[in-house]
């Protein structure tokens, strides 16, 4: 790579922070601008972008080749499998080089005489960024509510369309969370309003069509800012729910959907540490609860006794090594999603107590319950994907378990599943825990002789499990001899709830140790060459990258660090920043000394030191609402000032996007191509 170019050098303005008698000096605190209008800051970001472009310019042909490869595998004219909801079947279609889809409905599955609901391309044409969030059709099928974000900040505007006339209604609801739920009168909706400073949803409003938003009625406000807020409707559509969830506590309020002017009531007494999910069908509530059950158990309760746990009827008992992840109710059966030893399976139960398992044969895969809006259905839609199998939709008969493939995503070009192989390993970490690892490679280019480049991905936070799914973009690496690895480190729920709890708060460093130990073991077992190891992660996975770079920089030739959470201590001490208060149960509250010290021990920004670091690509979005742009901006500036090597450090900011990156099905491929070109260009004797 080019070494003669001069990277931007940021000025230092010491900012002293004192907490618990401990002082920290942040020389780059000045880079924070909540309004994103400071000329000096914007100029510095522009200079970083220009430097990144200049450094990568010699590899522009490679980057464009990668982009065209990835784009060329995508079917340009495609549609989703139609789904029945009420009288209509719904589908989404994409065509040509268009970035977005069109949503349709019809009275039959063949989609004859389909009706256009929304053309997202038309909605997005005036914006650099566009996200269509929620779409909700009124119970009588006459009206459509939908929400959109046009700057990537995840602040949504809700609009309404008359599906009989095609005309837009005058109603427009701004500054919302994006969700919208209809009452059964077809004229009243509920939505969550955002705090524009913290970007937390904290108020639920009721809106009656035909009235201005200023007349909307506040029906609930959450005082505890540690809770996220969402809306939903029961399976039988008789109740509207307000869902409240902190990291370790759940709460639900309900309202009769036939009485929208009524008052929301709490379903269960809020109890710290009690997490549950529930649904209602007929005369019963069904709950997945962690009450006396770390990995959850399933109970049923009558409508009048649901708030009395002593009267719950246990349908599925707690098991130490089986995590209950989901519940889907039908008239004839209910379906439980379980995870054991990291692998998902479905268990289909009838209400008489009989059940059977529905599983898959791949070494490692992902399967999930699809969209099943009709409780009267005698079949369930599930989605399936593995590292070598493109995303597939199956329809499974609830009575027999017979699976019918409805659709498998086509991968254009010369892709053949049999050319690739996947493996599931369990690697022993330094404390003896066995970390699940998913691996995929192209058979003809892998001899397990320690010569292959290897890219390891990880996340490890919030209990979120990164399952092994097919990625047509990753083929561009596999076809160049890369081995691709997902390290299912602690902080996820891959091995159950305890796996998550052992990777957060005071135990957070287990996530970093797991990732590093997996890398070392894969090199020892000759899955990858010691001098050709790469790592990548985004958001909390970006924190992972920063911590791993501090702990074991010598292991990695290159790092991809995307929308990264790097300045953990400063952010968690600032309640004005979006998401801070919600996440005390994840990272700890540094207002407490013990939590302060545990975060300080690993916070990537605070632990940068004068030493060699890997070649690093950092990306962010100026309008990121989850991790503010200044975290990677500050980290890059400090890393530049401290690192003692000549390795490449480039930083790119998308000036139009937020946490999710560029919008559209092709635009985002440019970001993938940039990272891949960055990695490939670092390999010795690599020809572009």
For residue 153, what pLDDT band results from cuts at 50, 70 and 90?
confident
Q: Determine what percent of the chain is predicted with pLDDT higher than 90.
A: 88
pLDDT at 622 over 60: yes
Question: How far apart are alpha carbons 135 and 148 in whole angstroms?
Answer: 10
Indicate the pTM of the whole model: 0.89
The CATH number that applies at residue 664 is 3.40.50.1820
For residues 174 and 42, membership in a common domain is answered with no
- At 668, the pLDDT band (50, 70, 90 cuts) reads confident
Same structural domain, 145 and 66:
no
DSSP H or E stretch at residue 338: strand 333-340
Are residues 625 and 500 both part of a single domain?
yes
- By the 8 A CB rule, do 585 and 247 touch? yes
CATH code where residue 156 lies: 2.130.10.120
- For helices 667-682 and 39-56, give the axis angle rounded to 10 degrees: 60
> What does the pLDDT read at residue 530?
98
For residue 496, which phi and psi values (nearest 5 degrees)? 100, 180
Is there a single domain that holds both residue 60 and residue 137?
no
**Residue 99 pLDDT level (bands cut at 50, 70, 90):** confident
**DSSP-derived 3-state class of residue 389:** coil
Question: Of 86, 133, 77, which Cα lies nearest the Cα of 412?
Answer: 77
Q: Picking from 446-460, 632-646, 653-667, which range would have the lowest pLDDT averaged per residue?
A: 653-667
Give residue 476's pLDDT band: very low, low, confident or very high (50, 70, 90). Answer: very high
More confident residue, 54 or 668: 54
Residue-level pLDDT at 665: 67
- CA–CA distance, 75 with 100 (Å, rounded to integer): 13
Q: Which two tokens stand for residue 536?
A: 């990548």
Of the candidates 217, 239, 274, which is a domain's last residue?
274
Mean pLDDT of 104-116: 95
pLDDT of 3 above 60: no
CA 470 to chain CA mean position, Å: 16
The beta-strand segments (E) located in 42-167 are 78-79, 83-85, 88-94, 102-106, 115-119, 131-137, 143-149, 156-162
- What pLDDT digit, counting tens, does each position of 635-657 carry? 999 999 999 999 999 999 998 76
The reply to whether 48 and 145 lie within a common domain is no
Instruction: For residues 535 and 545, give the distance between their C-alpha atoms in angstroms, rounded to a whole number.
Output: 7
* CB contact at 8 A, 346 and 357: yes
Q: Is the pLDDT of residue 1 over 60?
A: no
Do residues 61 and 150 share a domain? no
Q: 168 with 270, same domain? A: yes
CA-based nearest residue to 131, from 85, 109, 107, 99:
99
Q: What's residue 660's pLDDT? A: 53
Say if residue 51's pLDDT is above 60.
yes
Question: pLDDT by residue (tens digit) across 393-412?
Answer: 999 999 999 999 999 999 99
Q: Which residue has the tokens 């609860």?
A: 289
Identify the CA nearest to 338 among candidates 363, 314, 368, 364. Answer: 368
Q: How many domains does the chain have?
A: 2
Q: Please indicate, yes or no, if residue 35 is contained in any of the structural domains.
A: yes
Determine the pLDDT at residue 662: 55
- In the predicted model, what is the mean pLDDT of the chain? 94
Q: How far apart are the first and last CA of the chain?
A: 12
> Lowest mean pLDDT: which of 579-583, 592-596, 646-650?
579-583
Residue 348 lies in a domain: no
- pLDDT tens profile 15-35: 999 999 999 999 999 999 989
Could you tell me the CA-to-CA distances from 478 to 74, 149, 261, 543 in Å, in that order? Answer: 17, 35, 57, 26
In a domain, 172, yes or no: yes
Q: How far is CA 239 from CA 181, 259, 330, 600, in A?
A: 11, 9, 17, 45
- Whether 467 is in a domain gets the answer yes
**Minimal CA–CA distance to 474: which of 553, 390, 375, 410?**
390
Which range among 123-132, 512-521, 536-545 shows the weakest confidence by mean pLDDT?
A: 123-132
Domain span at 628:
23-71+414-681
Alpha helices in 552-621, H assignment, sequence order: 568-572, 584-587, 593-602
Domain-ending residue, one of 274, 302, 335: 274
Same domain assignment for residues 65 and 131: no
pLDDT recorded at residue 422: 96
Instruction: Tell me which residues are annotated as active site.
Output: 539, 624, 659
CA 255 to chain centre: 29
pLDDT tens per residue across span 546-571? 999 999 999 999 999 999 999 999 99
- 470 lies in some domain: yes
Structural domain ending residue among the three candidates 274, 293, 320 = 274
Q: Are residues 54 and 131 in the same domain?
A: no
212 and 137 in a common domain: yes
pLDDT score recorded for residue 97: 86
Q: Does one domain contain both 558 and 640?
A: yes
Is 120 a domain residue? no
Is residue 383 in some structural domain? no
In a domain, 350, yes or no: no
- One domain for residues 40 and 158: no
């Amino acid at each position: 790579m080019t070494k003669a170019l001069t990277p931007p050098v940021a000025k230092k303005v010491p900012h002293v922070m004192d907490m618990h008698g401990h002082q920290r000096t942040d020389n780059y605190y000045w880079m924070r601008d909540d309004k994103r209008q400071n000329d000096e800051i914007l100029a510095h970001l522009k200079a970083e972008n220009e430097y990144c472009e200049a450094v990568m310019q010699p590899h522009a042909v490679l980057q464009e080749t990668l982009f065209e490869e990835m784009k060329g595998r995508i079917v340009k004219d495609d549609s989703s499998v139609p789904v029945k909801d009420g009288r209509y079947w719904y589908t989404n279609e994409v065509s040509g080089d268009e970035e977005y889809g069109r949503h349709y409905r019809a009275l039959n599955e063949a989609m004859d005489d389909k009706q256009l609901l929304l053309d997202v391309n038309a909605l997005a044409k005036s914006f650099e960024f566009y996200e269509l969030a929620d779409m909700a059709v009124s119970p009588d099928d006459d009206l459509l509510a939908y929400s959109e974000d046009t700057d990537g900040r995840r602040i949504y505007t809700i609009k309404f369309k008359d599906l009989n006339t095609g005309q837009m209604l005058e109603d427009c609801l701004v500054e919302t969370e994006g969700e919208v739920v209809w009452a059964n009168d077809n004229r009243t909706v509920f939505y969550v309003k955002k705090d524009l400073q913290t970007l937390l949803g904290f108020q639920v409003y009721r809106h009656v069509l035909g009235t201005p938003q200023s007349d909307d009625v506040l029906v609930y406000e959450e005082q505890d800012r540690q809770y996220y807020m969402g809306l939903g409707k029961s399976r039988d559509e008789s109740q509207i729910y307000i869902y409240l969830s902190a990291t370790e506590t759940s709460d639900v309020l309900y309202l009769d959907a036939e009485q929208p002017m009524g008052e929301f009531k709490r379903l269960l007494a809020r109890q710290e540490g009690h997490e549950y999910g529930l649904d209602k069908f007929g005369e019963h509530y069904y709950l997945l609860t962690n009450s006396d059950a770390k990995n959850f158990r399933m109970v049923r309760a009558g409508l009048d006794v649901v708030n009395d746990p002593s009267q719950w009827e246990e349908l599925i008992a707690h098991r130490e090594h089986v995590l209950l992840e989901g519940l889907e109710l039908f008239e004839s059966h209910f379906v439980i999603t379980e995870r054991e030893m990291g692998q998902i399976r479905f268990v289909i139960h009838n209400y008489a107590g009989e059940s059977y398992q529905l599983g898959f044969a791949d070494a490692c895969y992902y399967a999930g319950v699809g969209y099943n809006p009709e409780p009267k259905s005698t079949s369930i839609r599930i989605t399936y994907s593995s590292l070598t199998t493109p995303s597939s939709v199956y329809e499974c008969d609830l009575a027999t378990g017979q699976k019918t493939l409805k659709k498998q995503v086509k991968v254009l070009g010369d892709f053949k599943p049999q050319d690739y192989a996947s493996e599931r390993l369990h690697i022993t970490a330094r404390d003896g825990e066995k970390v699940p690892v998913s691996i995929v490679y192209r058979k003809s280019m892998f001899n397990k002789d320690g010569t292959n480049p290897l890219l390891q991905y990880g996340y490890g936070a919030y209990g979120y499990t990164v399952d092994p799914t097919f990625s047509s973009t990753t083929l561009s690496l596999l076809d160049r001899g890369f081995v691709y690895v997902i390290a299912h480190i602690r902080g996820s729920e891959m091995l159950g709830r305890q796996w998550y709890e052992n990777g957060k708060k005071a135990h957070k460093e287990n996530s970093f140790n797991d990732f590093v130990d997996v890398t070392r073991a894969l090199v020892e077992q000759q899955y990858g060459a010691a001098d050709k190891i790469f790592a990548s992660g985004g958001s909390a996975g970006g924190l992972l990258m920063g911590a791993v770079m501090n702990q074991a920089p010598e292991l990695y030739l290159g790092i991809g660090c995307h929308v990264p959470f790097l300045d953990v201590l400063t952010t968690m001490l600032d309640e004005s920043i979006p998401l801070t208060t919600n996440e005390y149960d994840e990272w700890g509250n540094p207002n407490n000394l013990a939590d302060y010290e545990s975060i300080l021990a690993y916070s990537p920004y605070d632990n940068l030191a004068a030493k060699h670091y890997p070649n690093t690509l950092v990306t962010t979005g100026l309008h990121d609402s989850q991790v503010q742009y200044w975290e990677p901006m500050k980290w890059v500036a400090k890393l530049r000032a401290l690192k003692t090597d000549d390795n490449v450090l480039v930083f790119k900011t998308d000036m139009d996007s937020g946490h999710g990156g560029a919008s559209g099905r092709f635009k985002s491929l440019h970001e993938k191509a940039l990272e891949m070109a960055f990695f490939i260009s670092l390999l010795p004797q690599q020809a572009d």
